[in-house]
Amino acid sequence: MEKKPLRIDETYVALDDASGARPLPVTPEFWNALMSGRLGEMSRMISFSAFDGAWTTWEKHPAGEEVVLLLEGEVELRLDEQGGTESRVRLDAPGSYVLVPRDTWHTARAVRPSRMLFVTPGRGTQHRPV
């Protein structure tokens, strides 16, 4: 039987602590199902986003660092560091990435239409408005 390839913009990947991986189809209910725990346990998730403006929220991940990788475009990340200092990181070359420190509020703005890949520790993720 021939396997069909999956597309990261349609199916994310859940990683578990035992080095297992499983597909997560991205449906209209995906984010609600993820936040409510209906997608099961995972230690990290590989996801994709295409956007051309600013995020409407800040987020932070208490369970670990997040990998934010630029595939195409140009993005400015804002990180609200401990002690109230804000850092900015510009990703402007495909393949460039930043490790967002554990428990650090961050948001982003596309300078040019962008496509990004994320490896996110999902447990305990929090959001707040920009």
pLDDT at 35: 84
The pLDDT tens digits of the residues spanning 43-89 come to 999 999 999 999 999 999 999 999 999 999 999 999 998 778 899 99
The Cα angle at residue 68 between residues 99 and 73, in degrees rounded to 5: 135
Predicted structure pTM score: 0.93
Residue 109's contacts (CB-CB under 8 Å, 6 or more residues apart) are 53, 54, 55, 75, 76, 78
**Domain residue limits, the chain:** 11-124
Tokens of 68: 């934010």
What's the CATH code, domain 11-124? 2.60.120.10
The fraction of the chain above a pLDDT of 70, given in percent, is 100
Tokens of 103: 């428990």
67-79 b/e (C-beta count within 10 Å ≥ 16 → b) = bbbbbebbbebbb
Nearest to 51 by CA among 122, 117, 128: 117
